[in-house]
Amino acid sequence: MEALASSIRIILSSPPGFMESSPKCLVLRSASRDASSSCLGLKQRQTLKKTSSFNGVLQKADRKNLGFECRCDASETENYVEMKKTSGSSARRKRLAVFVSGGGSNFRSIHEAIKGKLVHGDISVLVTDKPGCGGAEYARDNQIPVVVYPHLKSSSDGVSTSDLIAILRKCEVDFILLAGFLKLIPVELVREYPKSIVNIHPSLLPAFGGKGFYGLKVHKAVIESGARYSGPTIHFVDENYDTGRTLAQRVVPVLADDSVEDLAARVLEQEHKLYVEVVSALCDDRIVWREDGVPLIRSKENPEKLY
């Protein structure tokens, strides 16, 4: 049972704060009802209904314990663990939408990683505000549908926000990846995809972020400030520029004789690597939200490690 309990801690997206086991029963307690009920893969509810041969009862724990309690039949739990261990490769591939405004080098690196089987997902649609940009051309060359957004006043191209949301729904998009998209994401889209939109920014946020900080302007500001370090940040998107929760960062040095282009190239190299790592984690359901709202990534090689 100890081995079973250890396996349960690894496979749960929100591991319980307390666990005890007997030959016939596994008891899990956690600070939130959601974390406890996740052991059976069910939605929050006071009584867990029977699902896939599982019986469980969710009840208030004593004050001396953590929050809520879930009791599971040990033999059924063992079957569940074995199923989870062997089902990773057969899990549904995530559907991705990528938003670009320029050459789309991060978009290309993600697409190459998908082709190399490093990411368990597929790019279903590319969204751009510049239909002639390099990212859009690359998408067309690779048979990825291109949607122009927002509507362009100078032509008949482009869709409205409501039409864009309808398209993303039809494509059954799981995650939206902003890869050099310069338009502010509308509130309606942020609310439609909570905790499911990420952006990459070429500085260590919250420094050198916000409206007007993009491209070479960021690197110029970093050098002029005298900062000794910079690097890319990937963050979840909220209703403002570059203010969502940080998910991942990569530090690079700023050298004394760096030009803006030198620093940009060094940061971009790390952007490509970091974005692929993050998208892989998203598609593998390895994002864990700490109780204070900070997102962490569960290591693929060592599932007990969060970073």
272 is catalytic: no
Find all residues with CB under 8 Å of 293, minimum gap 6, and list them. 245
Catalytic residue among 120, 201, 235, 272: 201
The torsion angles phi and psi of 186, rounded to 5 degrees, stand at -65, 150
Using an 8 Å Cβ cutoff, are 233 and 243 in contact? Answer: no
Is residue 82 classed as helix, strand or coil in its secondary structure?
A: helix
| Pairing assessment for the beta strands 175-178 and 94-100 based on DSSP bridges | parallel
- Quick one: angle between helices 216-225 and 260-283, nearest 10? 120
DSSP 215-280: THHHHHHHHHHT-SEE--EEEE--SSTT-SPEEEE--EE--TT--HHHHHHHHHHHHHHHHHHHHH
CB of 239 closer than 8 Å to CB of 187: yes
d(CA 275, CA 98) in angstroms, rounded, equals 12
Catalytic residue positions? 201
